[in-house]
Amino acid sequence: MIRRAAAGAFVGVALAACGGGGGRLTTPTAASGPPLSQPALVATTEAPSPPRGSPAAAIDALCRAAGDPDAQAAATLFADDAHDALHDLALAVESKDRASAARLYQATEVVESDFSAAGTPTGNRSANLRALATAASQSAAVLDVATSPCPK
């Protein structure tokens, strides 16, 4: 029986448990959201941004990176808004659906390789980012977290 170290992932879990937004592995829903009596929150017509560190935020970043022709900008989006959340998600999924976790880790590594290797064709990078978003969405579903993959 093996336990794997999860020091990095713990930060997100701890912050989520403490009420912070970081690393939270749930997506706010109507049932868990703020009470509707807060007019400032219901008056807006814009969809609220998913909490930083959440699977939804990571997938959103992946989709934006996939659509960005600038490799450096895409790499920044990936590093800043997706990478850590994807690791947290994969670790959380490991115990429930190891195959999903494996696919997520592998898809993440492909994208990391794209960014570390100079000259990856934009089309390949974009496709790999979209594939990673799909893998992340499928992993989130394992945790009963509803997310949307990249729009066509």
Partner 1 sequence: MSEVAQRGRLGAILAMLMLLASCGSATDPSDSNGSASPGPTSVAGIDPSALAVTVASYDIAQGAPRRFLAGVETSDRRLVTFATVDMKFAFAGTGKGEASGPELRTTGRYLPVAGSDVPEPPPIKPRIVTASQSRGVYATMVGFDRPGFWEVEVTADLDGKLRRGTGAFQVLESARLPDVGDAALATENLTISSSDAPPAAVDSRAAGDPDGTVPNPEIHSTTIAAALAAKRPVLAVFATPVYCTSRFCGPVTDLVAELARDYSDRAAFVHVEIWRNFQDKVINKAAAEWLLRDGNLTEPWIYLIGADGRIQARFDNVANRSELEPLLAALPTSAAMPISAAPSVGKA
CA distance 125 to 147: 22
CB 41 within 8 A of CB 34: yes
Considering only residues 25 to 84 of the shown chain, the ones binding partner 1 according to CB under 8 A are 52-53, 75-76, 79-80, 83-84
> 71: exposed, middle or buried (C-beta count within 10 Å: 0-12, 13-18, 19+)?
middle
In the DSSP assignment, the letter for residue 67 is T
Query: In this chain, which of 21, 28, 67, 149 binds partner 1, going by CB under 8 A?
Result: 21
Considering only residues 107 to 126 of the shown chain, the ones binding partner 1 according to CB under 8 A are 108-110, 112-113
Strand (E) or helix (H) holding 142: helix 122-142
Q: Does 6 bind partner 1 (CB under 8 A)?
A: yes
Q: Judged by CB, which is closer to partner 1: 10, or 141?
A: 10
Give the range of 25-33, 90-98, 117-125, 138-146 binding partner 1 by CB under 8 A. 90-98
Q: Judged by CB, which is closer to partner 1: 19, or 151?
A: 19
CA distance 61 to 111: 13
∠ CA(100), CA(54), CA(1), 5° rounding?
A: 45
Residues in contact with partner 1 by the rule CB under 8 A: 1-12, 14-15, 17-23, 52-53, 75-76, 79-80, 83-84, 87, 91, 94-95, 98-99, 102, 105-106, 108-110, 112-113
